[in-house]
Amino acid sequence: MAQCDLRVLGGFALTAKDGGNLALPTKKDRLLLAFLALHPGQPQSREKLYGLLWADRGEEQARGSLRQSLASLREVFQAAGIDPLTINRESVTLGANELSVDALDFAKFAAEPNCLDQAVDLYRGVLLADLDAPSPEYEQWLLPARQRLEEQASTLIESVAGSDSPPKVLNKTV
């Protein structure tokens, strides 16, 4: 069962299950977590990660920055009582069941006709709308990921608009 909630649609927010905000010290910490969270259970090579986030630095400095960022993530998670990261000399993996990620849940619910209410409720806007890509490499990953989610949101809106009974969340007063 997920111990933390990660919101990346419309903006970044990490919260513990008790509702407390878990603050990550830097923008790159948030971008690293977002990348790992959107690839749950999939080992990511350290080289790929520092290339995504610290492409403008020399290899030794980039490796050190990645180590520091991973230490920051681990510290925040430990404060929440979890340790979802598996880190070794070659790769980093975020456990698939440790975080509830709104973008992943949205994609799952948007594909299920009986879950449109949940999908509509989760979509708050563009993936990582409040964070800019720190490198062309990150941008190459981020733009297609944003596009896929926006296409799913557009398809969802079309489905909802054509439905005889729109999801309850569309009937709420804002």
pLDDT tens track for 58-95: 999 999 999 999 999 999 999 888 999 999 999 999 99
Tokens for 86, please give them: 């598996």
User: Predicted confidence band at 171 (pLDDT cuts at 50, 70, 90)?
Assistant: very low
Check: CB of residue 82 under 8 Å from CB of residue 98: yes
pLDDT in tens, 98-145: 899 999 999 999 999 888 889 999 999 999 999 999 999 999 999 999
Does residue 36 register a pLDDT over 90?
A: yes
Q: 161: buried, middle or exposed (CB in 10 Å: 19+, 13-18, 0-12)?
A: exposed
pLDDT at 174 over 50: no
Q: What is the percent of the chain where pLDDT is above 90?
A: 77
**pLDDT value of position 168:** 52
Residue carrying the six token digits 């489905």:
159
